[in-house]
Structure 1
């Protein structure tokens, strides 16, 4: 999947969730709430990795590690979009920066 497709699909899904939030809470989540949701999922990625490596008790989770990693990528796309960040350009700039740093 291309990053532009990820951005488009993530935006559509986030819009649908905003509609659910309006029905439930009377308003959509803010970008700050989205960031906190991402941090929660990123924390779950950490726990699932630890459990997989045997350094955290393996509890029954309704979500797998690959699901939570994908959800975290989705949240990052949502947050980038909400802050007018071009994911393709940002990722390219980051990778170039790291490659230059390691030469």
Structure 2
């Protein structure tokens, strides 16, 4: 079976999360829970909202909005891959099911 680009991105995402788990163990004695990961995702998603407002000229942020927005969008996608893995959900299957269900509405 050929590994897709998305599969490779998921693998890289999980490898990075493993490195963060090592830091959490080193600094706090335990890994973050799934709930803590979800909260971190929500925090970054909130920043995507604020940076989107800035990018659209609706919130004064100053210079650097677009690079920061790109980073937070990527980080949010990374969190979704991590959360799916930690909750034993295949992100590709979840996306496929969502798209199929939504397409049928139209």
Q: How many residues align?
A: 102
Match for residue 78 of structure 2 among 33, 54, 74:
74
**Higher normalized contact order (CA 8 Å, seq sep 6+, divided by chain length):** 1
- 1:47 paired with 2:76, answer no
What are structure 1's unaligned runs of at least 5 residues?
none
Greater displacement, 7-16 / 62-71:
62-71
CA RMSD of aligned residues (A): 1.7
List structure 1 segments (4+ residues) > 3 angstroms apart after TM superposition: 59-63
What do residues 29-77 of structure 1 show as CA deviations (whole Å, max 9, x unaligned)?
Answer: 1110000000000000000000011111114669611110000000000
How much has 1:3 moved relative to structure 2? 2.4
How much has 1:6 moved relative to structure 2? 2.0
